[in-house]
Amino acid sequence: MLPVNSSRTVYLSRALLRSFTVNLTCSARCISSSLFKKETWHSNTNLKQPGREKYLVYSVNKVNHPRHYSTTQVKLGCWNCKKPLVKTPAFFCKSCNVIQPPEEGTSLFEIMDCERTFTLDTQKLQTRFVQLQRFLHPDKFSQKSVKEQEYSEIQSALVNKAYKTLLKPLSRGLYMLELKGMSIEEGTDSGADSEFLMELMAINEVLDDAKTPEEADKIGRDTKRKLADLTKEIDTALLREDLQAAKALLAQMKYYANIEEKVKEKVSQFM
């Protein structure tokens, strides 16, 4: 038999253990209950851009374990009425109809509502450009507040940049590489082999020696065909995520695009 003091110690330890277990179970139930009773809550913080607020919306999934919860995407708030902006990118607040500042990290494809593809619909791009400038042009905000005028100028300039960048295959392809963290260095012949460079020199010499607009036009037509072929090859490379091949082909496109501009200048000399 255990001594009396030892038996009291064991009894007391068992009592404390039961008490600890009950308290721990109760605490877990309280935490679980508080999580499921309040499924969403908001926290307001400032973005880097002036006048813009960020709303963090958290949601809890009703599952067996209280740790299993997830967060939804960050929702931006209107700088004027503070209500959440539903659409992204949001040029105007649907609640108060006030123009908004640009959203950080928005791509030019998203601004122009175009698919992120090298062969995008340029007709749709042009239509989108006209529609946006109809609402965003600074002339429409001459009687508005200083902040609205400022946001109008920024948004309008950004739409102009997006349109010009995505309209032509070369600038569009370079931008797509930029989104992937790649670029083609200006003023270098990196990646161009000697045979290709000799071919370009020959084309430029023939163009310089052109005596009639017909001779210059022929070079222009040949250049357009080459650019069309390169467009197909670049699209194929981008679709299969072969960024190095796309970069090399875009470098070639830059050279032929320069020749195309020189052809236009040469033809204008005959007029």
**C-alpha to C-alpha distances, 7 to 15, 16, 100, 219, nearest whole angstrom:** 12, 14, 75, 106
Q: Report domain extents, the chain.
A: 37-100, 107-167, 194-269
| pLDDT above 60 (res 255) | yes
Q: With cut-offs at 50, 70 and 90, classify the pLDDT of residue 25.
A: very low
Question: Which residues make Cβ contacts (< 8 Å) with residue 33, sequence separation at least 6?
Answer: none
pTM of the predicted structure, to 2 decimals: 0.69
Cα gap 237→260, rounded to integer Å? 23
Cα gap 112→123, rounded to integer Å? 12
Q: How confident is the model over 186-237, as pLDDT tens digits?
A: 654 556 788 999 999 999 999 999 999 999 999 999 999 999 999 999 999 9
Q: With cut-offs at 50, 70 and 90, classify the pLDDT of residue 184.
A: confident
pLDDT for 168: 95
Exposed e or buried b per residue across 57-93, where buried means at least 16 C-beta atoms within 10 angstroms of its C-beta: eeebeeeeeeeeeeeeeebbbbbbeeebbeeebbbbb
Helical segments of the chain, H only: 4-37, 108-111, 122-136, 146-167, 169-179, 194-208, 213-239, 243-269
Q: What is the mean pLDDT of the segment spanning 26-37?
A: 40
pLDDT for 37: 38
pLDDT for 202: 96
DSSP string, 23-54: HHHHHHHHHHHHHHH----EEEEE-SSTT-EE
- Domain covering 194-269, topology: Monooxygenase (1.20.1280)
Q: What is the mean pLDDT of the segment spanning 225-254?
A: 96
Query: Quick one: what percent of the chain has pLDDT higher than 70?
Result: 69
pLDDT for 29: 42
Q: What is the mean pLDDT of the segment spanning 175-188?
A: 82
Q: How confident is the model over 51-108, as pLDDT tens digits?
A: 444 333 323 333 333 333 333 445 689 999 999 998 889 999 999 999 999 999 999 9
pLDDT for 86: 85
Architecture of domain 107-167: Orthogonal Bundle (1.10)
Q: How confident is the model over 100-153, as pLDDT tens digits?
A: 999 999 999 999 999 999 999 999 999 999 999 999 999 999 999 999 999 999
Question: Which residues make Cβ contacts (< 8 Å) with residue 263, sequence separation at least 6?
Answer: 207, 216, 217, 219, 220, 223
pLDDT for 66: 35
Q: What is the mean pLDDT of the segment spanning 18-29?
A: 43
